[in-house]
Chains A and B, each alone.
Chain A
Amino acid sequence: MRVAWLTQLLQIVLVLALAPLLTGVTRKVRARLLRRRGPPLAQPYLDLLKLIRKEVVVAGNASWLFRTAPYAVFASTWVAAALVPTFATGLALGAAADLIVIVALLGTARFMLALAGLDVGTSFGGIGSSREMMFATLAEPAMLMAVFTLSLFAGSTELSSISAFMLGPHAGLNISLALALVALIIVAIAENARIPVDNPATHLELTMVHEAMVLEYSGRHLALIEAAASVKLLLYLSLIACVFIPWGTAVAGAGLAAQAVGFATYAVKLLILGFLLSLFETAIAKMRVFRVPEFLGVALMLGLLGTILLFVSRAPH
C-alpha cells in the first residue's frame, strides 16, 4: 500500500518534470531531421520559466472564465496524466479512474479551453475553438472505441489491469489490437495538434487551430497552457507505451530493482515514441482542415471495426 502511494506521488511529480523534456526531444529530433541544429533540449523549461516571469496581458473584456480556465485545463490534464501508469502499474489512485475517465478528463480540459477561446470575442479564438471541437467530435469517439477494444480484450477498463493482461500469457497478436493501435495513434496526433492535423510551430493565424484558440493568452496563463499541452503529449505516449509495449513496466508491489528497470525502460520507450512521432511529422505534409475529419473518421471506423470484431468473436462466458 505504501509502495503504491509512493509510486503514485513519484508519478505525479514525474509527469510534470518529464513533459517539457519530451517536447524538447521531439523538437530537437525534428530539427535534426530537417538538418537544423534545433533548440537545446532544456528549451521548453526555459520557455516556461520565462513565461511565468512575464507580465500577463489580458484583453479588456475578458471575464473570470478566461483567467481561471488555464488552471482548470492544467489541473485536469495533470490529473489525467498522473493516472496513466508510466514506469510502474498499481497506482494508489488508479482505482479512482479508469481509461474512460481519463478520456473524459481530457474532454473537460478541452471544453474549458474552447470556452476560453470564445471569451474575448475575436475571430481567431472562435475559429480555433470551433475547429478544435470539430476535431474532437471525431477524435473522442475514436479514442473511446479504441478504449472499448482494449477493455473487451482485457476484460477491464482499468489501465493497470489492461497493462497486466497485456503482459500476461493470454495476450497475443490480434487484429483488433492492431486496429486499436492505429486508431489511438491517429487520435494522439490529432489531439496533440501535431502535423498533419495541426502545426504547433505555425505562426500564420489561419492555419492554426490550437494556437489560434490560445492566441490571447500570455505570461503565466500561457505557461500553464503550454505545460498542459506538453503533459498531454506525455500522457498519450505513456498510454501507448503502457498498453502496447508493456514490457519492463514494474508491476504492483515490485521491488526497488524492478522499479528502476521500469523507469529505465519507460525512458527508452518515450525516446523511441518521441523519435517516431518526429519522424512521422517530418515525412508528411499538413492537411487542409476539412481533410482532417476524413483522417479522424478512419480512426473512428478502425476503432469500431476492432470493437465489433471482438463482440462477434468473443463467445459468451
Chain B
Amino acid sequence: MSVAGPWFLSELAAGCVGWLLLLSPLAILIARRRHGSGLTYGACALASCALALVALLALLSPSPPAAIELAVGLPLGRTILGYDPLGAAFALIINVATALVSGYAIGYGAHAREPQRVVPFYPAFIAGMNLVLLSRDAFSFLVGWEFMSLASWALVASDHASAENRRAALVYLIMATGGALTLLFAFGLLAGPSGGYGFAEMRHAAHLAAAPLVLVLALIGAGSKAGLVPLHAWLPLAHPAAPSHVSALMSGVMTKVAVYGFIRIVFDLAGPPSWWWSLPVLVVAGITTLLGVLYALMEHDLKRLLAYHTVENIGIIFIGLGLALAFEASGLKAAAALSLTAAIFHVFNHSLFKSLLFLGSGAVLHATGERDMERLGGLIHRMPVTALAFLAGCIAISALPPFNGFVSEWLTFQAILLSPQLPQWVPRLIVPAVGATLACAAALAATCFVKAFGMTFLGRSRSTAAAEARETDGWSQVAMLLLALLCLLAGVLPGFVMDALAPVMKLLLGARLPVQSSEPWLRIVPIDSARSAYDGALVLGMIAIAAAATALIVRRFASHALRRAPAWDCGFPDASPATQYTAGSFAQPIRRVFGGVVFRAREHVTMPAPGDTGPARLEVELHDTLWEALYAPVIRLVDAVTARVNLLQFLTIRRYLTLVVSALVLLLIIVGATR
C-alpha cells in the first residue's frame, strides 16, 4: 500500500475510465461539428495513453497498487477498482493498441458519413473494456462487460441501412447476451451461498464441487466473446460490419478482454485445476485454430477474412491456456509459466497485428469503396505506405521471423515439446495432435496472407476504383506505421515482454520463467539454453547483414542495366486484368485439398457445346457446415415456435380474460396440490 501511495495509480485509472464515460455524452454534442469527431478520438487516444502508462507503472511496481472502494453497486456490496498484475498486463496490452487505433481514427473518422452514430459510442466502448480490467469484483466486471458489449453493438449497427449489417448486429446481440448470462452464472457459482462478489472473497471461498461447471461456463461465456468454435459465428458478421477502426478494436482488442475474463475466472478464481480441465480447452482450441484459418482461406472479403483469422488466433491463445492448465494441475510450474507466457504474449502480438491489418483494410476500403479482393489489386503503387504497413502485419500474423507472431508461436511449440512430462496419458495423446494443428495453421495462415496481400496490393487493378485509389491521410499512415514498428520490436526484443509478464506468472502460478534480460545478445531462453533459445535481434541482424552484403556484391560485380518491358505473355497479348489469378483461383488448390471435407465444396463446370460461343461457367458451392448443423436448426425451431405463439397477439379481449383466469386457476391448483 505504501509503495502505491504517492502514485494513486488506481485512482488515476478510475479517473481515466470516468473521463471516457463522460466523453460519450459530450461527443453527442460535438459529433457533427467540424473537428468534433477528431477531438473525441484525440481525447480517447490521450486517455488510452494515460491508462497504458498507469498500467505499466502498476505492472512494474513491486507490489500492486491499493484498490479503491466505491460505495456503489449491489445492495450491501461495494465496487472495488484497482489493477493487480494480470489486470495491469492486459490493460497495458489493450490500451497500447487502443491508443494507436484512436490516433488512426482522428484521420479516418473524419470521413464518416454519419459520425453521430459512431463517435458517442466509441469512448463508452473503450471505457467498458477498461472497466472490466480494472474491476476487482464481479459486479463491476459484469457492468463493464455489458458496457463493452452494448457499445460495440451500437457501433456494429451504426451503418444500419444495409440488411446485412442489421442481421450482424442481431446475431451479435444474441450471442453477447448469452455470453454475459453464462458469466453471471459462473460468478454466482464462484460467490457461493455466502455471496461475496469481491474477487478476493471468491478466491478464498472453497468451491471444489462447482469448479468444473465454472470452467464450462467460463469457456462458453468468455469463449463466445473471444470467438471459440462453434461460438464464433457472430465474429465474421459483426467485426466487418462496424467502421474499420471499430473493427480493429473489436477484433484486436475486445477479444483480448474476453481472454482476460477466461484467465481471471479459471486461473485466478476457480481454485486449483484438475488435469482434465485442459482437455476441453485444448480440443476446442485446436478445432478453432484449424477451422478459423480454413474459413479465412475460403473468404474473399478482406475484412471477413481478417475476422476469421481472429478466430484462428484465439485458438492459438487458448492452446497456450490449455497447456498451462495441464501443466499447472500436474505441478509442472515452469512449463505452466512458459505456456501461459506464450498465450499472453500472443494476446499482445495479436492485438498489434490484427489492429494493424484492420486499419489497413479500412484504408483500402476508404480509398476504393471495396472490401472484395476480387475487385482490388495493384494498390502497392497507389498506396505505398499502407502497403508497407499491411505487409508487416501479414508477415507478423503468418508467424514468420523476425516479426512478433513467430515468437509467441515458437514459445507455444516449446511448451508443446515439454508435454511428454505430463503424467496422464490422455493429454499426451492430444497435445501432439494439437501441435500438428498449430503447425498446419501457421502454414495455412501464410498462404492466406499471401492471398490477402497479393490480391489486394499486388498485380494489376481489377476495378477502376482500385486503379484510382488515393493514399490514406497522415494520421492513419502514422498510426499504421507505428503498429508495424511495434510488431517488429516485439519480435526482435521479446525478452522484455516476457520479463514484463513475470509478475502475472507469479500471481497465477507462483512461478516464473528465467530472467530474460540478463541473457547475452538479447536472446530468449524459456527453459535452459541447451534446450532451446531464440534471438530475434540477431536473426534480424544476420538477415540485414546478409542482404546488405548481397546488395553490395551485386552492386560491385553485377550489371546495373535495367529495362522495363511488358510481362511475358506467351505470345498472346491480353491487356485485361481479368486474366490474372484471383483470390478464388489462388485458394482453389486449398479448397480442393481441404474443402471437400470441411465445407462440402463442390465445383460445377458448365461447358458450352462445341461451336457455341457462349462462356464456360465454373460455379463453386461451399457450405458453412457449422452454421448449418448448429445454428440453422435452432433458428428454425425459434421461428416455428414464434409462428405458433404469434396467434396470441390477435385474440379478442374475451379470450385474453379466459387465458388469464385459466392461468390463475392452474397456478392455484398447483399451489394447493403442493401444500
Interface residues, chain A, CB within 8 Å of chain B? 52-61, 63-65, 71-72, 74-76, 78-79, 82, 93, 95-98, 100-101, 104-105, 107-108, 110-111, 114-115, 118-127, 129-131, 133-134, 136-141, 144-145, 148, 151-152, 155-158, 161, 205, 215-216, 219-220, 223-224, 289-290, 293, 300, 303-304, 307-308, 310-312, 314, 316-317
Given A56-B559, A107-B443, A311-B432: 18 more A-B contacts, CB < 8 Å: A79-B539, A93-B542, A104-B399, A114-B450, A118-B450, A120-B567, A122-B580, A123-B580, A123-B581, A129-B581, A130-B585, A134-B589, A137-B446, A148-B435, A219-B558, A220-B554, A293-B589, A314-B420
Known: A79-B539, A95-B523, A104-B401. A53 touches B450 (CB 8 A): no
- Tell me whether A123 and B428 are in contact (CB under 8 A): no
Tell me, rounded to whole Å, the shortest Cβ–Cβ distance linking A81 to chain B: 10
Known: A123-B580, A316-B420. A156 touches B439 (CB 8 A): no
Tell me, rounded to whole Å, the shortest Cβ–Cβ distance linking B469 to chain A: 14
Q: Which of A60, A98, A161, A224 contacts B567 (CB 8 A)?
A: A60
Contact sample, A vs B, 14 pairs, CB 8 Å cutoff: A52-B558, A58-B564, A97-B538, A119-B459, A122-B567, A148-B413, A152-B417, A156-B530, A156-B531, A156-B532, A157-B417, A290-B589, A311-B419, A316-B420
CB-CB < 8 A to B521: which residues of A?
96
A60–B563 Cα distance when bound, in Å, is: 9
A174–B146 Cα distance when bound, in Å, is: 56
- Tell me whether A63 and B568 are in contact (CB under 8 A): no
A123–B419 Cα distance when bound, in Å, is: 45
Proximity bits, B85-125, A CB within 8 Å = 1, else 0 = 00000000000000000000000000000000000000000
- Tell me whether B406 and A75 are in contact (CB under 8 A): no
Query: Which chain B residues in 392-439 approach chain A with CB under 8 Å?
Result: 395, 398-401, 406, 410, 413-414, 416-417, 419-423, 425, 428-429, 431-433, 435-436, 439
Known: A115-B458, A141-B443. A108 touches B401 (CB 8 A): yes
Known: A108-B400, A115-B453, A134-B590. A307 touches B530 (CB 8 A): no
Tell me, rounded to whole Å, the shortest Cβ–Cβ distance linking A310 to chain B: 7
Residue ID in chain A nearest B551 by CB atoms: A71
- Tell me whether B447 and A101 are in contact (CB under 8 A): no
- Tell me whether A126 and B585 are in contact (CB under 8 A): yes
- Tell me whether B380 and A65 are in contact (CB under 8 A): yes
- Tell me whether B454 and A155 are in contact (CB under 8 A): no
Q: Which of B431, B535, B546 contacts A311 (CB 8 A)?
A: B431
B377: interface (CB < 8 Å): yes
- Tell me whether B530 and A79 are in contact (CB under 8 A): no
A82–B551 Cα distance when bound, in Å, is: 18
Majority secondary structure of chain B interface residues (helix, strand, loop or mixed): helix
A224–B453 Cα distance when bound, in Å, is: 23
- Tell me whether B586 and A121 are in contact (CB under 8 A): no
Residue ID in chain B nearest A136 by CB atoms: B443
A131–B543 Cα distance when bound, in Å, is: 26
CB-CB < 8 A to A119: which residues of B?
380, 454, 458-459
Proximity bits, B350-369, A CB within 8 Å = 1, else 0 = 00000000000000000000
Residue ID in chain A nearest B547 by CB atoms: A75
- Tell me whether B542 and A79 are in contact (CB under 8 A): yes
CB-CB < 8 A to A215: which residues of B?
568
B378: interface (CB < 8 Å): yes
- Tell me whether A123 and B422 are in contact (CB under 8 A): no
- Tell me whether B421 and A316 are in contact (CB under 8 A): yes
Tell me, rounded to whole Å, the shortest Cβ–Cβ distance linking A309 to chain B: 9
- Tell me whether A53 and B559 are in contact (CB under 8 A): yes
- Tell me whether A65 and B565 are in contact (CB under 8 A): no
- Tell me whether B446 and A75 are in contact (CB under 8 A): no
- Tell me whether A79 and B447 are in contact (CB under 8 A): no
- Tell me whether B562 and A118 are in contact (CB under 8 A): no
CB-CB < 8 A to B538: which residues of A?
93, 96-97
B570: interface (CB < 8 Å): yes
- Tell me whether B420 and A59 are in contact (CB under 8 A): no
A304–B432 Cα distance when bound, in Å, is: 7
Proximity bits, B573-617, A CB within 8 Å = 1, else 0 = 000010111000111111011000000000000000000000000
- Tell me whether A158 and B533 are in contact (CB under 8 A): yes
Query: Which chain B residues in 608-667 approach chain A with CB under 8 Å?
Result: none
Q: Which of B384, B455, B539, B546 contacts A78 (CB 8 A)?
A: B546
- Tell me whether A307 and B458 are in contact (CB under 8 A): no
Q: Which of A78, A224, A293 contacts B593 (CB 8 A)?
A: A293
A317–B446 Cα distance when bound, in Å, is: 36
Tell me, rounded to whole Å, the shortest Cβ–Cβ distance linking A3 to chain B: 18
A310–B417 Cα distance when bound, in Å, is: 11
For B416, B443, B533, B535, the residue with the greatest tally of chain A CB atoms inside 10 Å of its CB is B443
- Tell me whether B450 and A115 are in contact (CB under 8 A): yes
A120–B381 Cα distance when bound, in Å, is: 12
B200: interface (CB < 8 Å): no
Tell me, rounded to whole Å, the shortest Cβ–Cβ distance linking A294 to chain B: 9
Q: Which of A61, A93, A123, A134 contacts B378 (CB 8 A)?
A: A61
CB-CB < 8 A to B184: which residues of A?
none
CB-CB < 8 A to A312: which residues of B?
425, 428-429
- Tell me whether A133 and B581 are in contact (CB under 8 A): no
Q: What are the 9 A-B residue pairs with the smallest beta carbon separation, nearest first?
A: A126-B581, A121-B459, A118-B454, A141-B439, A96-B535, A134-B589, A55-B561, A75-B547, A75-B546
- Tell me whether A105 and B539 are in contact (CB under 8 A): yes
CB-CB < 8 A to A64: which residues of B?
380, 384
Residue ID in chain B nearest A117 by CB atoms: B454
Residue ID in chain A nearest B553 by CB atoms: A52
A303–B538 Cα distance when bound, in Å, is: 30
CB-CB < 8 A to A126: which residues of B?
459, 580-581, 585-586
A261–B562 Cα distance when bound, in Å, is: 46
Known: A121-B577, A130-B586, A161-B530. A60 touches B400 (CB 8 A): no
Known: A129-B450, A312-B425. A121 touches B458 (CB 8 A): yes
Tell me, rounded to whole Å, the shortest Cβ–Cβ distance linking A200 to chain B: 19
Q: Which of B406, B446, B534, B542 contacts A136 (CB 8 A)?
A: B446
- Tell me whether A96 and B542 are in contact (CB under 8 A): yes
CB-CB < 8 A to A223: which residues of B?
558
Tell me, rounded to whole Å, the shortest Cβ–Cβ distance linking B331 to chain A: 11
CB-CB < 8 A to A156: which residues of B?
530-532
